[in-house]
């Protein structure tokens, strides 16, 4: 079994390679993992092209939702994008916060940070910055963000409790988050789960949906709700390696599966220490 650092090293290696690939290559391998000839290109990623602030060079086709869609971002807000990649969600957020707001992207992969900074320079954006850092130890001061967004990244973080604790720390009292991520519902057969991880790199590290939501609640967030949920359909050419026709039908009707969800939650204005500026 890999330890947390080994997992992080593998993720950094994978996403360093992805940063150098085209969107077409990434999308056709679903989060850059690669492997399946019958993949549906829309099964994970969403279409950003109609969104204000969209910048094609920043869209590597790696997301599993559009977290800004439910983030309630306002003009002048400070928004933090965790696992910001090439800057896709950060630039969409910037179009909403305007010149009076600020967007900070955080990513642990040096190649992604270089790419996102180049993209910001192309757009001549003065109030968007990208910082090299770990989501389990976010390089941002406490109570800084009005809104935190993240797209198909937190499932890759080994210590999700620490990640959401850090998210809570950097959000202002009364602020909130909107994250899109991958979760499991029910127990997938180990062989199928292993194949799914090869088919879609974003599945690696995914945990049960109930456990995911419990971690969020345990870290103090309130008004937690799932704003969007979509099942990730595994191709039959994967399933037929392990299931006969009858078993496949039963599996598809079981409710067990892999889902992308977009979750919203708030940090209370009064966080229990008698002030509105608890750290």
Indicate the domain borders of the chain.
4-266
The Cα 245–Cα 237 span in angstroms is 12
Provide the pLDDT for residue 70: 98
Average pLDDT over residues 179-201: 80
Reduce the DSSP state of residue 184 to 3 states and report it: strand
The Cα 183–Cα 108 span in angstroms is 22
Cβ neighbours around 50 below 10 Å, total: 6
Provide the pLDDT for residue 21: 59
Q: Are 158 and 189 in contact (CB under 8 A)?
A: no
Buried b (16+ CB within 10 A) or exposed e, 227-262: ebebebebeeebbeeebeeeeeeebeeeeebbbbbb
Mean of the per-residue pLDDT values of the chain: 85
Reduce the DSSP state of residue 79 to 3 states and report it: strand
- Which DSSP state fits 241? T
The Cα 6–Cα 12 span in angstroms is 10
Token readout for 238 is 């994967």
Provide the pLDDT for residue 16: 55
Query: What is the pTM assigned to this prediction?
Result: 0.85
Q: Minimum mean pLDDT among 89-93, 98-102, 147-151, 255-259: which range?
A: 255-259
Residue 41 has pLDDT above 50, yes or no: no
Residue 107 has pLDDT above 90, yes or no: yes
Provide the pLDDT for residue 2: 58
Provide the pLDDT for residue 238: 77
The Cα 58–Cα 86 span in angstroms is 5
CA atoms 52, 53, 57, 58: torsion sign: negative
The CATH T-level fold of domain 4-266 is Rossmann fold (3.40.50)
Contacts of 104 (CB under 8 A, 6+ apart): 78, 79, 80, 81, 128, 129, 130, 131, 140, 144, 145
């Amino acid at each position: 079994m890999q330890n947390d650092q080994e997992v992080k090293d593998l993720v950094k290696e994978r996403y360093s390679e992805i940063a150098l690939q085209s969107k077409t290559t990434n999308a056709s391998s679903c989060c850059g993992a690669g492997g399946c000839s019958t993949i549906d290109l829309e099964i994970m990623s969403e279409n950003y092209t109609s969104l204000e602030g969209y910048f094609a060079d920043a869209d590597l086709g790696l997301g599993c939702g559009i977290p800004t869609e439910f983030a309630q971002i306002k003009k002048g807000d400070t928004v933090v994008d965790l696992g910001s990649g090439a800057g896709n969600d950060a630039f969409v957020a910037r179009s909403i916060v305007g010149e009076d707001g600020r967007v900070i992207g955080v990513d642990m992969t040096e190649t992604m940070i270089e790419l996102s900074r180049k993209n910001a320079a192309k757009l001549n954006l003065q109030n968007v910055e990208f910082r090299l850092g770990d989501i389990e130890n976010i390089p941002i001061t406490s109570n800084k963000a009005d809104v935190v967004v993240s797209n198909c990244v937190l499932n890759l973080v080994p210590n999700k409790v620490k990640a959401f604790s850090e998210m809570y720390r950097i959000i202002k009292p009364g602020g909130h988050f909107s994250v899109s991520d991958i979760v499991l519902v029910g127990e997938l057969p180990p062989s199928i789960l292993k194949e799914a991880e090869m088919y879609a790199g974003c599945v690696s590290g995914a945990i049960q949906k109930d456990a995911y939501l419990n971690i969020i609640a345990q870290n103090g967030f309130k008004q937690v709700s799932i704003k969007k949920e979509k099942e990730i359909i595994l191709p039959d050419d994967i399933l037929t390696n392990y299931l006969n026709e009858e078993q496949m039908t039963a599996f598809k009707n079981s409710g067990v599966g892999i889902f992308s969800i977009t979750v919203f939650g708030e940090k209370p204005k009064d966080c229990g220490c008698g002030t509105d500026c608890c750290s």
